[in-house]
Amino acid sequence: MAFDTPQNDTLLSAHFSLRYADKPVLRGVRLEIQRGEVMGLVGQSGSGKSTLAMTILGLLEKKRAHAEGSIQFQDSDLLQLSERELRTLRGRSISLVLQSPLSSLNPALRIRTQLKEAWRAHASGTNSDCGNAIRTCLESVSLPTDDEFLRKYPSQMSVGQAQRVLIAMAVMHRPVLLIADEATSALDVITQSEILALFRALNRSTGMAILYISHDLASVAGICDRIAILHQGEVVECGTTEQIFANPQHEYTQRLMAAMPRILPAGPSIQHKTQAAATR
């Protein structure tokens, strides 16, 4: 197994196994996330990516999902926290953006109402404090802040705008860690690259770490500092994006690389985008 050396600015350090009833899903998973880094988590469908994210967030059904080990985050072991303690962390210190923006938003409520609820979940203050917080987070994701926009229902927005609203909610309380679980997988390629650029910009401007989860190695190349490869519930390799692309160690990573589409337009000057991204 190839793992790079842990640094001392660790934000999250996980080493655990998880099973659903008798079915092992994550086996001795090791994952370290440094403060301020964008960490990719890549693996095929069913490898356990969402389960890993949900374990960090404490969102798995306690009766069915059994975790053993620890997930150190700041001063706590997330696996030992009560539901109440987890609720104060979720949305404030660690937040989540999922794949389908339109199903994550409430179709019956205006955007303003949903943003207000997200603010009030972890803050108290006047209407004007709330309005200012909403304006700031909408600006940070390059969305309009006017009344006409805030009065919209989710169905009146494009899917890209809806994803930006969810990202605005996720960054509203300035989390130190944002987990994006296939957050761009349902988007068309142009919107996908705009949202990827937004995640990178937010990472740079706020310093929040991002765990960027995707089944698609190519899509993570441009934004991740490091990448962990999950295969059948095990992290089989973890390294910088450059290392993973230039010198994949594990046989499964090598297969993932070999399976990446390489449809090149004619002409020697145009490089494959992931090759370019990997050397950035």
Contacts with Mg ion by CB under 5 A lie at 49-50
User: Which tokens in the block code for residue 250?
Assistant: 């594990």
Binders of ligand ADP among 8-27, rule CB under 6 A?
20, 23, 25
The DSSP bridge partners found for residue 229 are 42, 237
Whose Cβ is closer to ligand ADP: residue 50's or residue 241's?
A: 50
Kind and range of the H or E run holding 23? strand 23-34
- Other CB atoms within a 10 A radius of the CB of residue 41 amount to 29
Task: Out of 43, 154, 239, 248, name the contact with ligand ADP by CB under 6 A.
Answer: 43
Which stretch, 39-47, 66-74, 191-199, 237-245, contacts ligand ADP (CB under 6 A)? 39-47
Site size for ligand ADP (CB under 6 A): 12
Q: Is 59 in the site for ligand ADP (CB under 6 A)?
A: no
Kind and range of the H or E run holding 72? strand 65-73
Whose Cβ is closer to Mg ion: residue 40's or residue 278's?
A: 40
User: Which tokens in the block code for residue 272?
Assistant: 């494959």
Residue 84 binding result from Mg ion, ligand ADP, none, given CB thresholds of 5 to 8 Å by partner type: none
Q: Is 50 in the site for ligand ADP (CB under 6 A)?
A: yes
Task: Out of 37, 40, 51, 209, name the contact with ligand ADP by CB under 6 A.
Answer: 51
Shortest reach from residue 91's CB to ligand ADP, in Å = 21
Residue 43 binding result from ligand ADP, Mg ion, none, given CB thresholds of 5 to 8 Å by partner type: ligand ADP
Residue 144 binding result from ligand ADP, Mg ion, none, given CB thresholds of 5 to 8 Å by partner type: none
The residue count of the chain comes to: 280
Shortest reach from residue 12's CB to ligand ADP, in Å = 18
Neighbour-count burial for 200-221, b at 16+ CB within 10 Å, e otherwise: bebbeeeebbbbbbbbbbbbbb
Shortest reach from residue 59's CB to Mg ion, in Å = 13
Q: Is 49 in the site for ligand ADP (CB under 6 A)?
A: yes
Phi-psi region of 188 (alpha: psi -120 to 50; beta: other; left: phi over 0): beta
**C-alpha–C-alpha distance, residues 46 and 122, integer Å:** 33
Which stretch, 44-52, 112-120, 156-164, 199-207, contacts ligand ADP (CB under 6 A)? 44-52
User: Cβ neighbours of residue 221 under 8 Å, at least 6 residues apart?
Assistant: 241, 245, 273, 274, 277, 278
Residue that is written with structure tokens 């539901």 in the block:
83
